[in-house]
Each structure stands twice: as structure tokens, then as C-alpha cells.
Amino acid sequence: MDQTVQKVTNGLQGTITIPGDKSISHRAVMFGAIANGTTTVEGFLPGEDCLSTISCFQKLGVSIQQNDDKVTIEGKGYAGLKEPVDILDVGNSGTTTRLMLGILATLPFHCVVIGDSSIAKRPMSRVTNPLREMGAKIDGRDNGNLTPLSIRGGGTKAIQFESKVASAQVKSCILLAGLQSEGETVVSEPHVSRDHTERMLRAFGVDVKQNGRTTSVQGGQQLTGGHIVVPGDISSAAFMLVAGAIVPNSSITLLNVGVNPTRTGIIDVLQQMGANLVIENERTINDEPVADLTISTSSLKGIEISGDIIPRLIDEIPVIALLATQAEGKTVIKDAEELKVKETNRIDTVVSELLKLGASIEATDDGMIIYGKSDLTGSTVKSYGDHRIGMTMAIAGCIATGTVTVQESEAIAVSYPNFFTQLQSLQK
């Protein structure tokens, strides 16, 4: 589906409530499914990825009712999960694939996991290899690296695993498998990745130990259902934050944004570039920090983004690249090779599509270099089926002269189903 976006002439103004966090919504459903007792979720993200998680766990025999942002999960512990008759289709969701494999690795039955054409290209050996080491039987294309994957779990043993990549999906997968394995499972990573799994497992009554880049759980722990309130997704808010910073005469307030420090790299970048950003009403919900953010247009300067901050803003790099096209001077993004294994190779897709609009940007082996400030010109661009590329291009349309036509814009529903409605509501 093509979506056209016109240059915004009178600025973006107003207040919106950012929809639920995708990472936290997935985890609420999965942990509710393996917990004992009922879990109720409020603020759930009804995006396609999280609906895939619900559908997979329903196929595993768990009773789950979802109505917009409310979900009720009738957990019966691990014993409540049964061998599915059907394949488990994860759609476009890497989080569903990798976290669910961690749970399936401990269950004594057979499952087949498939996804869409993007999932079929994403590397799974980063989780299937350690899960095999723990004792799960896994096969699939490319020796178990690519979907479709078949898995027969059960009888797993704890592992001491040193991950080569800073990935919350890898860390969460191994910790989930560790919960039902004999002994203590320890995962370490090169930089700290998002810690929603650790925080939410504690809310479900699990003892999780964390020390710097190392996290561990003791096997044999049971989860107890409860009430989870999901904050707004800072990765979705990022598109509106960038719009507010670069569209002339804008001032917008985003309510209920999750500001977990493992996710707030975008805030640090905006502040370092000179954005006019106010953080208010800071509070904590279910052990997750939340705040309201107000951003207004300002002049920006280029910076270097590398090292420890990368996992804290990995999903925001496409829209940060757009932001950098409007900053004076050079912005260098390094240490971000992980972008190559997302829904698309996001180094290639963001560079190729911003070039079509007239940006001065070049790809590097581990990131990109952007030279600002450039005037962007409307053109036809593609999302390549990647929600974050689609939204980046739509925000570019707000400042480009003429019209930006975003092809395959339906991908945006993966994480931000009401993106265009909210963007429209900010225009006078």
C-alpha cells in the first residue's frame, strides 16, 4: 500500500499518548502464559508483532483474550502448554521467534516455527546453538540457523553463556530456558542490552541476579500471574520526537513514554545534538520508569554515536539518520553492525532511501556517515516491509518539498498501528 505524505507547513502541535511498548507487550503475554494464575495486561500494543505472540501461545494451548490494549491470560504454569497441532507462525517478529524458542527448549514436545520472508533471513543460530548446548533438539535450514525451525525440548541443563552480541533477545531466550533447566544459568554480553525481561520476571516473582553485563537465574523457579501495565514505546515515540525537532514551528508533548535507561539512547542523542527536549512527570510503573516528553523545533549539530550507547538506541538509528540530515556538520554512527540483521539490512535500506530524497549520507561497514544540513525533496521511497524504515520515510515527508510516497507502508502496523492517525492529529 502506498501512503503519501506532504510537507508540513504550519508546524506540528499538540499532545498524544504513545501506544504500548512492543518489547514489554511480548513479554507480558509470554510470561503470563508460563505463569500460574491469571495475568491481566493494560496498555498492551495491539500491533501485528504482539498479535503473533498471542496467536503462537494460543496454539500452545493457553487461553488468551485480547480486546484492543487489554489482555487476559489464564496461565496454568509450564504444564499448561501442550504440543501444538499447527505450526507456530511468528509473522515478522524476531522477538517472538527468539524468546519463544527459549521457552519451547524446555518443553517435552515438538514444534515447528516459521515466519515471513524477512524472518526467514534473520540469524537464529545465536539462540539455537546455546539452546542445543543446553539439551534442546533443534533443526532447520542452514543447520538450524534459519526458519522454518523444528524444536523438541525438555531435559535441559543450565549453561554459562557468553554472547558475542549485545542482544536482549539472546539474553532473554537463554534466561527463559534457564528457568526450567537444572542448575544456574548465567548470560554475559559485550554491552548491556534492554532489561525488560529481568524487570518483568521479578514482577512475576522470579529471582533474577544482575551484575554489570552478567545476568543469571536459578532453574526450577515458578512464575506467578499478576497485573502488568505497559508504558508507551520510546521506539515509537522516537519518530514523533524527531518530527518535533526538525519540522519548523513545532512543539509536541508525548505522554506515557517508557524511559528505561537501557532504551533512552535517543534522548541522549537529541540532547547532545542540541534539541529542545523537556522531561516531566517521571514515575515508575511495574518497575519500569515512565515520563512525559515535550519537544520543540531547534537548530541541531552533528555528533558521533558509538560504543555502549548503540544497544540503547539500535531501533532508533533509521530515524536518527534522518535527524542527522537536519543537523549542521557531520554525524558518524559506528559499532552498529547489528543493523544488518534486523527486519531489513537497515544500513542499506536507510541509506538508499534517504539518498533518493537528496540526503548526503554514506554507508560504512558498521554504520553510516551523514553530512548536514540538507534540503530534502519528495520522491517515491520503499519501506522494504520494514516498519521502522516506513516511519522514517513518512517523517522525512513532513520536511521534504513536494510529496513523499512511501511504498509498502502497511509494514508500519507491526509496531505502530495508529502512526498516521497520530501524526495527522498533530497537524493544524
Residue of the chain from 19, 94, 225, 302 that contacts ligand SPQ (CB under 6 A):
94
**Binding region for ligand SPQ (CB under 6 A) out of 8-16, 68-76, 92-100, 223-231:** 92-100
- Nearer CB in complex with ligand SPQ: 29/376: 29
Answer yes or no whether residue 54 interacts with ligand SPQ by CB under 6 A: no
CB of 10 to ligand SPQ, least distance (A): 31
Q: Give the count of beta carbons closer than 10 Å to the beta carbon of residue 86.
A: 10
Q: Is 314 in the site for ligand SPQ (CB under 6 A)?
A: yes
End-to-end CA, the chain? 25
Q: Residue 291 is placed in which grid cell?
A: 515520563
Q: Which of 8, 1, 27, 12 lies closest to 252, judged by CA?
A: 12
Find where cell 496454568 sits. Answer: 76
Which residue number places its CB atom closest to ligand SPQ?
94
Q: How many helices (H) and strands (E) does the chain have?
A: 13, 24
Give the number of residues in contact with ligand SPQ, rule: CB under 6 A: 19
Q: Restricting to residues 222-281, name those near ligand SPQ by CB under 6 A.
A: none
Task: Kindly provide the residue ranges of all beta strands, DSSP E only, lying in 60-207, ordered along the sequence.
Answer: 63-67, 70-76, 88-89, 110-114, 137-140, 146-152, 160-162, 184-188
> In a 3-state reduction of DSSP, which class is residue 251?
strand
Closest residue by Cα to residue 118 from 415, 362, 341 = 341
DSSP class per residue in 54-66:
HHHHHHTT-EEEE
Which residue number, 292 or 338, has a Cβ lying nearer to ligand SPQ? 338
CB of 70 to ligand SPQ, least distance (A): 21
Which residue from 39, 55, 95, 253 is in contact with ligand SPQ, where contact means CB under 6 A? 95
Interaction between residue 55 and ligand SPQ (CB under 6 A): no
Could you give the C-alpha distances from 23 to 28, 278, 399, in angstroms and in order? 9, 25, 30
Cβ at position 340, least distance to ligand SPQ in Å: 11
CA neighbor of 45 nearest in space, from 232, 217, 286, 265 = 232
Among the residue ranges 80-88, 132-140, 336-344, 351-359, the one whose residues contact ligand SPQ (CB under 6 A): 336-344
Least separation, in Å, of the C-beta of 195 and ligand SPQ? 10
As beta bridge partners, residue 327 has 300
Contact predicate 84/111, CB 8 Å = yes
Half-sphere exposure of 116 (CA within 13 A, CB side): 16
Q: Does 169 bind ligand SPQ (CB under 6 A)?
A: yes
Smaller CB distance to ligand SPQ: residue 22 or 382?
Answer: 22
Which residue has 533512552 as its cell numbers? 264
* Residues numbered 122-151 forming contacts with ligand SPQ, rule: CB under 6 A: none
338 vs 354: CA distance, rounded Å: 20
Which CB atom, from 234 or from 324, has the smaller least distance to ligand SPQ?
Answer: 234
Smaller CB distance to ligand SPQ: residue 342 or 382? 342
Assess 199 for contact with ligand SPQ (CB under 6 A): no
In the complex with ligand SPQ, which residue's Cβ is closer, 49 or 198?
A: 49
Say whether 315 is catalytic.
Answer: yes
Q: Which of 216, 176, 213, 151 is nearest to 95 (CA)?
A: 176
Q: Pattern 374-413, binding to ligand SPQ, x per CB under 6 A?
A: --------------x-------------------------
Q: Which of 39, 93, 106, 379 binds ligand SPQ (CB under 6 A)?
A: 93
Which of 55, 66, 147, 167 binds ligand SPQ (CB under 6 A)? It is 167
Of 5, 19, 20, 23, the one binding ligand SPQ by CB under 6 A: 23
Q: How many C-alpha atoms does 347 have within 13 Å on its Cβ side?
A: 18
Catalytic residue (choose from 21, 315, 365, 386): 315
Interaction site with ligand SPQ (CB under 6 A): 22-23, 49, 93-95, 167-169, 172, 193-194, 314-315, 338, 342-343, 388, 415
Residues marked as catalytic? 315
